Structure 1
Amino acid sequence: MGTTDTRRVPALSRRNFLGGMAATALSASALAGLTGCAPTQAAKPSSGDASDQETVVNNGLNPQDYDYTSNTGDLATLFSSWSFGPLQLSHRMVKSAAGSDTAANPEEAAAYYRNFAKGGVEMVWVEDFVDKYKHFPSARSTPIDESPLAEIVQAIHEEGSYAGYQISCMGINFSGTKQIASGSFASAVAADMTQEEIKLLEQDTVTFVKRLKELGFDACEINAAGNNIGQSFLSRMRNTRDDEYGPQNFENRTRFICETIKAIKAECGNDFPVQVLINGIEENDGTIGDSALYTTVAENKAMCKLMEEAGANSFHVRLGPTSQHVCEFASDLYFTGYGIDGTTSYGTQFDFSRHWEGKIIGNHSGCGMMLDVAAEIKEAVNVPVGTVTYMDPAHAPDFFENALKDGKADFLIMNRPLTVDPEYVTKLKEGRLDEIAPCTRCMHCHFDVDKEGNTYEHCRVNACTQHAFRESMPEGFDLPAAETTKNVMVVGAGPAGMEAARIAALRGHNVTLYEKKSSVGGMLEFASTVKGPHENLDALRSYMEKQLEVSGVKLVTEHEVDAAFIESEKPDALVLACGGLRDTLGMEGTEKTSIVAIEDFLTATIGENVVIVGSNAQAIDAALNLQAQGKRVSMVTPDPIEKVDKGQSNWVKTFVMPMLYARGMRLWPNATINEIGDGAVTITSEAGATESIACDTVIEAMDMLPNSSLLDGISVGETYAVGDCAEPYNIADAIFTGNLAGRAI
């Protein structure tokens, strides 16, 4: 599968952007690039040694301190035993029941969950995707007997681990429901239910749990958080009933959940573990501070006692915003974006010293932010309590070890770090932290879209997610051994090239990777500096470099490859990963208005009034960085507004863009540049008006252009172009195309 066919040059309609000015020229200095720089702080992430770390402070709200990632090598508590009901576990890391979008393909679903168990996870919670209720319509329509649940349980058990299933009640209809639920996030509200329906729902739930036990599941989790029916009973804001299931006291608020727990125990036995997932603390993220009816930690402590008395064997405690559901489990989105820590996605910011009762750990970029809340709830009950949100002990070993040792939580509930690297637990136990693929918190994995706008959930780092056992990777997660060992040349050591080299070498090929610079990573170093520590891009670069060593790739740096060298080496296969070329305006600056390439803006002299030309993810990241410096930013782009921040995940865009606007950035979509004058830029707007924008510095951040001409005329029989040199887009796409090339050779 040669990828030279993918050398598609984008349509040149962008040339109209110049409004009749000089034709576009290619910047000689604009090389291989990665879109998606979502800046946070222009400082390097800490190395893990507290002695050489620096404190990164945001001058606004919620200053960040990254001096928390130290590693003394002591993980004794993390790898100590504990009990979940009758289940005995030897470490404190648990796979959450986060959605994976694999259920439609039984082979993929079983292999997906098997990998966690095979990689050392001993308690694997499975996402809810089947139709559970006899008496109520559900957005989850897969009948249990047509689902891959049996295959999933078998796969988990074959690897020696326990399987649990989460039961959620989002998107079901009751007699009082005002609208038909159209999707899994439609709200199920307690006030809509008759008492007869409450009993029927309890009955249906117990019947379903009994079926789960028959299939071999070892435990169940009742999701009483988010938009689920259980939460609407617990919540004084959502529960408006005036009977014994109403909000008048804690007994009434917990009655539905307690009755359900007791019924499950009566049917399945007291030794069948039941975990309850709750909003551990709630806050109004839509209208900050308007939280009088929101559940407090003290209320939850009282209610958890009652649920424990009913038979709950453990509690899963997460954050409880009521507008942005995603932040219940990916609360670190509040820290997305350079200098806007605490962003709500509504153009406002939390003050973590006051909002959320001041009980959120809000100075570690979202890492372990619920640990103090879990600690309070743990004080009230005598069963294990775990919590979620960027639980990543490989990222911050001492931080999480000490939290467990101090009794803040009994177990860590994880998803993204395990999805990125299913061997996470085994590698961590063996001390191979530098071999663990890092989660970069990009959120491509949750309701993202592809270049055409179609729903596309995938991992930036683990190219197999949403591809294994599908058209692009029919062979599944495991790499097929090479049929014939070949000598492979890879040109360019950015993410695409490093991934192609790694995969090809692991399959048994002899791989040499050439990089013209003295270090690997391509644009990752620049992206990390712009983004700051939040996305762990320095860790990604270090991991990918380590993988070259582990897989046996020969790395040659400070060597620029040309056609003559390729012909002289005569490789059996060539992978070109030299990056793209930056499009430019082809215009000259003036005495009062300079023009700076985006790759140079961190070191160049930048005026107070800045016009960024382009609206891709890099342009947005630069805008955040400049606003944090106090610059007045405008953005002019030939793209329509729906294409702004392209290459970035939907969720990062959702949380970043409102803050840019709230801080004064004016966006001019579908606009053309007419003239760069002294202290101003003249444009033609989407409306057809001529507008003058005050401007001291123009930053060129237009889209990258393909750069695969080196393949022209090459006599190598098997050639591939990957990453930005083939079709510029983002880091995830670069790694994915590199992975495919490595598999194809």
Structure 2
Amino acid sequence: MKDDLHSDVAEGGGAFVHLFEPITINGCRIRNRIVMTGHGTGMPTDGTPNDRMVAYYAERARGEVGLIMLGTQQVHPSSPGITGLLTNYDDRIVPGLARVARAVQAEGGRIFGYLGHMGMATSARPVALWSASADYEQKYGEVAHAMTAGEIAELVAAFAAAARRNLEAGLDGIEVHCGHGLLLNQFLSPLTNHRTDAYGGSVENRTRFPREVLAAVRAEIGPDVPLGIRVSGDELIPGGLTAEDMAVICPMLVEAGALDYLDVSAGSDGDLVSNMLHEPPMGLPPAPFASLAGRIRSACPGTAVLHATRIHTAAEAEALLARGDADMAGMVRPLIADPHLPAKARRGGTDRVTPCVACEQACFGRLYRGRHISCVGNPTTGREERWHALPPIERARRVSVIGAGPSGMEAARVAALRGHDVTLYDEHECLGGRMNVARLPEGRAEWGRMIDHKAAEIERLGVTLRLGARASAARIAEAAPDVVLLACGARPGTLRTPGAEAAPILTVDEAVQDPARCGARVLVIDNMNRTPGMAAAIHLARLGRNVDLSTQGLHAGHNLVIQNLTYFWKQAAELGVTFLPATRPARFDGGRVTLENVFSRQPMPLRSYDSIVLADPGLPRDTLRAPLEAAGLTVRAIGDCYAPRDIEAAFLDGYEAALAL
């Protein structure tokens, strides 16, 4: 059986002069410069590491990640463990931490504990939030309690105690979160610290609480344990901390905690645009804040610097180090997408790496829905305990996969990987399905990286391709497959609104593929509130069209994860797209449209358009199912052919269908 987890790519990481050089941080030798920085996984159910989390991190260590930072451990009950966070309030967490540490270290990796407190950068009703001042931030809007001197002292002790528990569990080092708009950053920033006592006002006073925390942690763990902090090199908010400010503040923090390294990124979780910029979605450039890390590195000579913000490939990580912006390259989403990125790069197999395309649909998207993280292009992420390796097959079967979109490609890839004889059919001349449409608008081209990767794997595995002609039931039956997987996608839906049959309506795919068909004034009817409608509206506006977007939802794009939502809304505002929330078409008269409010059900003033673009989930394109079953074939519909959903569901369906063979 072929093994996708431990590929046989040739040795030869010679292109990476810096990336695979070991580094020693205060006596802790790390095998390379690749760091999986701290992030929420949504995996804990009781605030402690569980089997799912152990398997998740062990797989990244097996893939040769040098250093792993656990997700933030909340150090005090005033920072509740929501969305699957770890809670290091007492010794209950120690056994779980020890299991994760042993699993990572057994694979040659190092692991640091990552300590933090959300402050007001969360929602915890009815629990009162704690912060520097009685203030609130943009995302959640819950007014915090201004901490007393006694509560500050209580938290200083809590950070130190949490650090001790990490060492008792056998972790190799400690990182304290002082960035991203969390509590310690809230004390540092003049935007959120309005105190007039010893903890507010001057830079010395605003750094006092973080300095006390770092001094206490260092005293607790001793001089020989690696200690670092995560900081935002720039808050990316008008009036917030700048790179110049942080070049002054960071040396003060280094001195207070005798720090060994700085983990430098940017941004604040409490501001929507800043949050989006420091967790950049598809459309923004890679490594946008590398120069900030370089600036902080210059301000703190002798202190190692780690940088992570969309370092999305091994080549980008190597460039970061070669420029001297950082000593270590941090990655999260690329290692969510492919835990074996380091091993593949070291062996010369970067072309085999499952790419992160920054779609954010199954990592942040699942996390914000209260679920464990995964990856669109790698359904095994978050399911390592169950799908650590592909199960052996009893016998090789002849498998026909009809449709080469994401579901069909994944089913064909995994079925061939398991040893089945796979034929993949598609009416188009190329693989990828609707990903080929999704890649067309400006800023969406990264879907092409996903297509190229999956297509290359399918070719490598020897899948037989039958492209360029629609597969009929007779043609499929003639091949006598043991199993048919229908991945034909969805067919366009239709509007039942009066007058729709004579209105100038295009599907969203038609509008994106051939924008010349759209006139000057365009109405996008978005019945999905996900990427297709929003991306199409922005694409057409960028091409000079005057665009309105109507949605029955409370706001445009309400099914999008917050980073994508913010990115699209920012673009729409800059390009003049008008959103018409809580509306739906009531009647068409050619290009004249009467919309109605979905709540009052009253008509709105008549609007005139040259083109109407329908973004609709569609209906299953499953007409082949009945004749194939009538011919006695075993048939399973997958992806949108089973039920139109999103691309995460399509890839997952394909993977699961191949496992079931």
- Does the alignment reach a TM-score above 0.5? yes
2:546 to 632, 648, 655: 632
Cα distance 1:96–1:582, how it changes in 2: closer, same or farther (>3 A)? Answer: same
Conservation of the 8 A alpha-carbon contact between 2:518 and 2:610: yes
1:734 to 638, 644, 650: 650
The aligned amino acid for 2:414 is: I
Conservation of the 8 A alpha-carbon contact between 1:318 and 1:329: no
> Which is worse superposed, 642-651 or 230-239?
642-651
Alignment of 1:595-744 (within 5 A): 595-601=505-511, 602-603=513-514, 604-616=516-528, 617-636=531-550, 640-642=552-554, 644-645=556-557, 648-657=560-569, 659-660=571-572, 663-667=576-580, 669-677=582-590, 680-686=592-598, 687-689=601-603, 691-713=605-627, 714=629, 715-716=631-632, 718-744=634-660
The aligned amino acid for 1:734 is: A
In the other structure, the counterpart of 1:148 is 96
Cα distance 1:736–1:144, how it changes in 2: closer, same or farther (>3 A)? Answer: farther
Q: What is the CA deviation profile of residues 5-25 of structure 1, one whole-angstrom value per residue up to 9, with x for unaligned ones?
A: xxxxxxxxxxxxxxxxxxxxx
In the other structure, the counterpart of 2:322 is 405
Q: What is the CA deviation profile of residues 400-456 of structure 1, one whole-angstrom value per residue up to 9, with x for unaligned ones?
A: 4343222111112110010011011111222222211111212224553699x7767
TM-score by length of 1: 0.76
2:313 to 393, 399, 414: 393
Query: What displacement does 1:710 show?
Result: 0.8
Query: What displacement does 1:624 show?
Result: 0.7
Cα distance 1:667–1:370, how it changes in 2: closer, same or farther (>3 A)? Answer: same
Distance 1:221 1:563 in 2: 60
Unaligned runs of 5+ in 1: 1-71, 338-364, 470-474
State yes or no: 1:259 paired with 2:172: no
Cα distance 1:515–1:122, how it changes in 2: closer, same or farther (>3 A)? Answer: same
Conservation of the 8 A alpha-carbon contact between 1:331 and 1:366: no
Cα distance 1:327–1:551, how it changes in 2: closer, same or farther (>3 A)? Answer: farther
Query: What displacement does 1:317 show?
Result: 1.3
Aligned Cα root-mean-square deviation (Å)? 3.3
In the other structure, the counterpart of 1:159 is 107
Q: What is the CA deviation profile of residues 330-383 of structure 1, one whole-angstrom value per residue up to 9, with x for unaligned ones?
A: 6254x656xxxxxxxxxxxxxxxxxxxxxxxxxxx2311111111111111121
> Which is worse superposed, 166-175 or 576-585?
166-175
Cα distance 1:380–1:123, how it changes in 2: closer, same or farther (>3 A)? Answer: same
Q: What is the CA deviation profile of residues 302-351 of structure 1, one whole-angstrom value per residue up to 9, with x for unaligned ones?
A: 22112222311111112124633685586254x656xxxxxxxxxxxxxx
1:507 to 418, 427, 430: 418
State yes or no: 1:107 paired with 2:51: yes
State yes or no: 1:314 paired with 2:261: yes
Structure 2 residue matching 1:698: 3-state secondary structure: strand
Alignment of 1:496-575 (within 5 A): 496-530=407-441, 532-534=442-444, 536-575=446-485
Structure 2 residue matching 1:463: 3-state secondary structure: coil
Cα distance 1:450–1:645, how it changes in 2: closer, same or farther (>3 A)? Answer: farther
Cα distance 1:647–1:178, how it changes in 2: closer, same or farther (>3 A)? Answer: closer
1:226 to 170, 180, 193: 180
Cα distance 1:237–1:536, how it changes in 2: closer, same or farther (>3 A)? Answer: same
Query: What displacement does 1:489 show?
Result: 1.2
Query: What displacement does 1:212 show?
Result: 0.8
Conservation of the 8 A alpha-carbon contact between 1:185 and 1:227: no
Conservation of the 8 A alpha-carbon contact between 1:336 and 1:655: no
In the other structure, the counterpart of 1:26 is none
In the other structure, the counterpart of 1:203 is 157
Conservation of the 8 A alpha-carbon contact between 2:362 and 2:648: no
Q: What is the CA deviation profile of residues 80-135 of structure 1, one whole-angstrom value per residue up to 9, with x for unaligned ones?
A: 332322222343221011011112372111110001111110101101246x34x8
Conservation of the 8 A alpha-carbon contact between 1:570 and 1:716: no
State yes or no: 1:118 paired with 2:62: yes
The aligned amino acid for 2:190 is: R
Distance 1:110 1:641 in 2: 39
The aligned amino acid for 2:638 is: V
The aligned amino acid for 1:422 is: P
In the other structure, the counterpart of 2:356 is 439
Distance 2:27 2:366 in 1: 42
Distance 1:137 1:297 in 2: 28
Structure 2 residue matching 1:283: 3-state secondary structure: coil
Cα distance 1:645–1:240, how it changes in 2: closer, same or farther (>3 A)? Answer: closer
Alignment of 1:355-394 (within 5 A): 365-381=284-300, 382-394=302-314
Distance 2:135 2:636 in 1: 49
2:389 to 478, 501, 521: 478
Alignment of 1:40-59 (within 5 A): none
Cα distance 1:101–1:169, how it changes in 2: closer, same or farther (>3 A)? Answer: same
Distance 1:454 1:415 in 2: 19
The aligned amino acid for 2:249 is: M
Query: What displacement does 1:708 show?
Result: 1.3
Q: What is the CA deviation profile of residues 144-170 of structure 1, one whole-angstrom value per residue up to 9, with x for unaligned ones?
A: 425622211111011011011110011
In the other structure, the counterpart of 2:222 is 269
Distance 1:279 1:209 in 2: 22
Distance 1:666 1:204 in 2: 47
The aligned amino acid for 2:165 is: R
In the other structure, the counterpart of 2:243 is 297
State yes or no: 1:95 paired with 2:95: no
State yes or no: 1:283 paired with 2:229: no
Query: What displacement does 1:594 show?
Result: 3.9
Query: What displacement does 1:676 show?
Result: 3.1
In the other structure, the counterpart of 1:80 is 21
Cα distance 1:644–1:241, how it changes in 2: closer, same or farther (>3 A)? Answer: closer
Query: What displacement does 1:683 show?
Result: 4.3
In the other structure, the counterpart of 1:127 is 71
The aligned amino acid for 2:311 is: M
Query: What displacement does 1:506 show?
Result: 2.0
Distance 1:176 1:434 in 2: 46
Distance 1:203 1:73 in 2: 47
Distance 2:493 2:544 in 1: 27
The aligned amino acid for 1:615 is: N
Distance 2:493 2:507 in 1: 10
Conservation of the 8 A alpha-carbon contact between 1:233 and 1:245: yes
**What is the number of residues matched between the two proteins?**
619
The aligned amino acid for 1:544 is: K
Query: What displacement does 1:611 show?
Result: 2.0
Distance 1:467 1:283 in 2: 35
Cα distance 1:316–1:730, how it changes in 2: closer, same or farther (>3 A)? Answer: same
Conservation of the 8 A alpha-carbon contact between 2:555 and 2:581: no
Structure 2 residue matching 1:94: 3-state secondary structure: strand
Query: What displacement does 1:528 show?
Result: 0.5
Q: What is the CA deviation profile of residues 188-213 of structure 1, one whole-angstrom value per residue up to 9, with x for unaligned ones?
A: 97x83333333332222222211211
Unaligned runs of 5+ in 2: 1-12, 121-127
Distance 1:432 1:215 in 2: 35
TM-score by length of 2: 0.85
Conservation of the 8 A alpha-carbon contact between 2:276 and 2:563: no
Structure with the bigger RCO (C-alpha within 8 Å, sep 6+) is: 1
